[in-house]
Structure 1
Amino acid sequence: MFYCFKNASQKNKESLTQLLKSTKVISYDARNILIYLKTQLQIYDNTFSMYDAKIGASLLDPDNPPENFSELQKLLSFTAPYTIATECPLQKAAWYLTLLRECWSRLNSLLVEKQLWQVFVDIEMKLLPIIAEMERRGVSIDLSKLKSMEEVLVNRTRLVEQACYKAAGKVFQINSTVQVRSILYDELQLDTKCNVKVRETLAGGVKSTSEIMLRSLMSEHPLPKLILEYRHLHKAHATFLAGIAQHVRDGVVRPTWVQTAAATGRIASNNPNLQAIPKVPFSLVMFPDDEDKESVQLKFRSVYVAGAGQSLLAADFQHVECRVFAHVAADTALLRALAAPRDLFVLLAAQWLNVSESAVCVADRERTKRLVYASLYGAGTRKLMEILDLTYEHALQVAASFNRTFPSLKSFGRRVVWECSQAGGRLSTLSGRARHFAHINSKDFALKSHAERQAVNFIVQGSAADICKMAMILTEAELRSATPPVDAHLVLQIHDELVWEVRDEHIPVAAGIIKRVMEGCGRQFGMSISLPVAISVGKNWGEMEDYNVPV
């Protein structure tokens, strides 16, 4: 039976609301439907039981999620028994709904068969209305601050641009790798003068103008350094200012939040990507000398602001991926380190280097942090070379020393790969989210190594992603059911960090609920350890201050 509401009268809205509430709603790309119901029809009910076939299908093959309805049918091996030749939109809609019903029947059975039904219903579908509301609401932008930052950045870029022309002795397209390559290697012959063997690009087999190569040429001539400075400024302007400004409507930016973008289950932000906005201040000078120590720094996050009478409240999981690893690897030493009320990476650096914590310098802490995460994600020696900027032999020595101190980091990776191999390439996270690694037993070393790294990464990052999703679901439920009501709305999800816009007088209550719920949400997936959360509050996202939650 098909229903068609020809106008948005109050009676039709009530009928439609009742219809949606009284049945299970099967849809394709339900986020857009939920946004439409609120923005166009002013139907604000969030109690609909809605199942999104597009998201369900992505759980079956997370590496190749269907981008359209035709791909969904192909994934399910479904072929329409007949087609219709009509220009009538209602007849077309009825036909597609008929196909969707058939596809849903197959998809439902497969999700149950593959043991993915609970992930679909308890995580993805409960998250769906939260994601839709985040997208509908958006986050406010201080356009005047954005424009003033843009002016500062453009002026600095012009100065560096003129310096590039002067150093090259000619005007050229700085963003053109062809022209840069010609000047550096053909005209100035810097690779010969520096006695540097320049890497060739994989695609074209021509000399690379990558950052690593340009850095190796900086000692001979000022141009490579200036080109790096220009790229540094140009990318920041295009990505974090001009790229954001074009998406602002009525002082608000509304990114698209995508549940199916990553095979690990991570949520992605598109058009624009607000997850890429750097937390640390951006320095206008890439290579500061003594004269540049006081150079201007731009806080790109500070253009994202709260409305009048409200503040932004951020809740940030502390080392959640390390805690997931410690749990799944049953690493008692790491669990003890995580339980200590001290800087985790200073503590681990002290253990590794066999020195006191006070003797650990900033560089040692940073190197330890990079090694931990490289190990968690199964990085090989060549990747370590890039991460730590070391020779191959030195990287081997560092990795061997680190693995002797923390053997579970390596043994965990081996165990995951073995389990994946024994299960025919299938792995599941703590939540039950699954992924298939077709090349885990491949004879091709490169394919096998890549699959192994992905497998380790999936267990850690995939479990952490679902913990963050569960945090969104549980905090939303608690905030909405609080008495008296709490005026708090989720506006940003930056992987391990969640940001709400909260009415100022409700901050103490909201902060208490959010911290309590998030720190205990790992129990949903069998984790016995707490997941510490840091709370910060501010009028803009770039100038947040630590907030001590009232006990």
Structure 2
Amino acid sequence: MIVDIQIGYWLLDSNNIVKCFNDILNYLNVQPFFDIKSNDTIQRGCYYLMLLSQVYEKLTSMLIMYDLWTLFINLEMRLVPILAAMRYRGIRVDRNSLEHIKTQLDDEIKKIELKAYTICGKVFHINSAIELRTILYDELKLDQLNGVNIKRTDIKGAKSTSESMLKMLRKFHPLPNVIMEYRKLNKIQTGYVESLIQWIQDDVIHTTWDQSSAATDKTINLRNLFIARENYKFIVIDFQQIEFRLFAHLSKDRNLIEIFQNNTDIFVTLIEQLQNEINIVDIDRDTVKRILYAIMYGAGPIKLSQELEIDVEKANKIYSFIIGKFSVLKSFPKDVIEECRSLGYLRSLTGRRRYFPNISNSNFQLQLQSERQAVNFVIQGSAADICKLVMIRIENILAAKNYDCHLLLQIHDELLWEIHDTCFQEATSA
């Protein structure tokens, strides 16, 4: 049986990141029976094994006390060898295509920079929030001249240059749109393309999977750059509408549950209703999906108007209609927040805990942030648990059949396997 004490620690307190072994010792209040001053490698190794044994005993008792032991052993520890195998095998990458994309992005970014300078009539540091703030609010006065209320940053209280603020300003001047385009491409270049190139070894990237963190991004799809090994094929499975399905399950809303049980496309149904009942004609499936998810995670009419770039009156009309159809979209988040405020923590579908120390903070902004995180955790944390369970179950089935297939990637609600041609049909139907 594998026991990873770092993951056990994370289950007890996911808000604090472990930087070293001493962090775990301090958290668990483990006091060594004696200190060691010897520099002998074997003696020091034995000393730390003794400490590890103490940590294991204390960690085990705490996980049992907080009803986390079963989750730790049956889910997280079973996932460790799967993630290790994913990292060892890695995934092949088309390096030439990646280098070509990098060159294209470099050229496009330079063009956008030049366009921004031309619009402003001067050169400035396009990545500098301070310089951009000066141009937008002091020189162009876009907020004052157009009556736009700009949010202030939490740290210094300066006017924000965030994407949501730029979206509000771009109808009045071309610069905000150019800045948004620049940021998007620059993020793709530095955050994805250059990072991927850096990690290629012999045309393979060996991924690193961190069970004790949850940072993801959905900005770009680079799947076409990944290529299967010779005589292998890729197969992808995804969890359709997993977050909204979980919302229906957790909220116990009969209308939503019935929709999913009948395999009805809720987004298409709502398009027809929005068009016929309140005359919202310029809307498509993706927009309806964004609306439902935004409201599910706490967006009101104002936030909705910013997300969809429509006037508040129209956003309020859509919001009221959706809430009228599914009142649980408003009531469930309130219930989650109430429970969190009462307990100080929440549990996911599998019993995973997360504490929210700022849920009743006197600082209103910190309290709002905790409220959003609380609702996100219950839904997205449960979705992550289901994904892990599926990974373990499918890998067990495939291993029992001794198929030549390998799980390579897990990104959001998708899993990617690489399967040999000789067993592709059997494996995909297993």
If the length of structure 1 is used for normalisation, what is the TM-score?
A: 0.70
Shift of 1:325: 1.9
Q: Write the distance in 2 (CA, Å) between the matches of 1:181 and 1:445.
A: 25
Match of 1:171 in 2: 123
Q: Write the distance in 2 (CA, Å) between the matches of 1:278 and 1:218.
A: 23
Task: Tell me which of 387, 406, 417 is aligned to 2:307.
Answer: 387
- Deviation larger for 189-198 or 319-328: 189-198
Shift of 1:419: 3.9
Match of 1:278 in 2: 220
Match of 1:338 in 2: 260
Q: Write the distance in 2 (CA, Å) between the matches of 1:91 and 1:506.
A: 50
Shift of 1:343: 2.8
- Does the Cα contact within 8 Å between 2:163 and 2:180 map onto a contact in 1? yes
Q: Write the distance in 2 (CA, Å) between the matches of 1:217 and 1:344.
A: 33
Shift of 1:242: 1.6
Match of 1:431 in 2: 350
Higher share of residues assigned helix:
2
Amino acid at match of 1:278: I
1:412 matches 2:332: yes
Match of 2:319 in 1: 399
Q: Write the distance in 1 (CA, Å) between the matches of 2:149 and 2:303.
A: 20
Match of 1:110 in 2: 62
Distance of aligned partners of 1:439 and 1:182 in 2 relative to their CA distance in 1, 3 Å threshold: closer
1:480 matches 2:402: no
1:141 matches 2:93: yes
Shift of 1:109: 0.8
Give the share of equivalent positions with the same residue, in percent. 38
Match of 2:411 in 1: 494
- Does the Cα contact within 8 Å between 2:347 and 2:354 map onto a contact in 1? yes
Match of 1:369 in 2: 289
- Deviation larger for 469-478 or 133-142: 133-142
Distance of aligned partners of 1:362 and 1:315 in 2 relative to their CA distance in 1, 3 Å threshold: farther
User: 1:206-259: CA deviations, max 9, x gaps?
Assistant: 344334444555466544443333333222222221222111122111231011
What is the CA RMSD across the aligned residues, in angstroms? 3.0
Q: Write the distance in 2 (CA, Å) between the matches of 1:326 and 1:375.
A: 14
Distance of aligned partners of 1:413 and 1:216 in 2 relative to their CA distance in 1, 3 Å threshold: closer
Match of 1:507 in 2: 424
Amino acid at match of 2:33: P
Shift of 1:393: 6.5
User: 1:311-337: CA deviations, max 9, x gaps?
Assistant: 111000111122222222222211222
Q: Write the distance in 1 (CA, Å) between the matches of 2:265 and 2:313.
A: 30
Match of 1:459 in 2: 378
- Does the Cα contact within 8 Å between 1:486 and 1:510 map onto a contact in 2? yes
Distance of aligned partners of 1:110 and 1:381 in 2 relative to their CA distance in 1, 3 Å threshold: farther
Secondary structure at the counterpart of residue 256 of structure 1: coil
Shift of 1:463: 1.6
User: 1:453-484: CA deviations, max 9, x gaps?
Assistant: 333322222221111000000000000111xx
Secondary structure at the counterpart of residue 33 of structure 2: coil
- Deviation larger for 244-253 or 81-90: 81-90
Shift of 1:376: 3.3
Q: Write the distance in 1 (CA, Å) between the matches of 2:223 and 2:250.
A: 34
Q: Write the distance in 2 (CA, Å) between the matches of 1:216 and 1:374.
A: 18
Q: Write the distance in 1 (CA, Å) between the matches of 2:152 and 2:369.
A: 22
Match of 2:239 in 1: 317
Count of aligned positions: 430
Shift of 1:78: 1.7
Amino acid at match of 1:371: I
Unaligned residue ranges in structure 2 (runs of 5+) = none
Shift of 1:162: 2.7
Shift of 1:435: 2.3
User: 1:376-397: CA deviations, max 9, x gaps?
Assistant: 3344565445434456666555
- Does the Cα contact within 8 Å between 2:168 and 2:309 map onto a contact in 1? no
4+ residue segments displaced more than 6 Å: none
Q: Write the distance in 2 (CA, Å) between the matches of 1:375 and 1:111.
A: 35
Distance of aligned partners of 1:80 and 1:391 in 2 relative to their CA distance in 1, 3 Å threshold: farther
1:439-450 pair list within 5 angstroms: 439-440=358-359, 446-450=365-369
Distance of aligned partners of 1:186 and 1:301 in 2 relative to their CA distance in 1, 3 Å threshold: same
- Does the Cα contact within 8 Å between 1:191 and 1:217 map onto a contact in 2? yes
Q: Write the distance in 1 (CA, Å) between the matches of 2:101 and 2:90.
A: 22
User: 1:479-515: CA deviations, max 9, x gaps?
Assistant: 0111xx31110110012110011112322222222xx
- Does the Cα contact within 8 Å between 1:198 and 1:208 map onto a contact in 2? yes
Match of 2:250 in 1: 328
Task: Tell me which of 171, 176, 179 is aligned to 1:227.
Answer: 179
Q: Write the distance in 2 (CA, Å) between the matches of 1:302 and 1:94.
A: 49
Q: Write the distance in 2 (CA, Å) between the matches of 1:217 and 1:381.
A: 18
1:82 matches 2:26: no
Q: Write the distance in 2 (CA, Å) between the matches of 1:217 and 1:416.
A: 34
Distance of aligned partners of 1:223 and 1:397 in 2 relative to their CA distance in 1, 3 Å threshold: closer
User: RCO (CA 8 Å, sep 6+): is it higher in 1 or 2?
Assistant: 2
1:344-355 pair list within 5 angstroms: 344-351=266-273, 355=277
- Does the Cα contact within 8 Å between 2:300 and 2:319 map onto a contact in 1? no
1:519-534 pair list within 5 angstroms: none
Amino acid at match of 1:377: Y
1:260 matches 2:212: yes
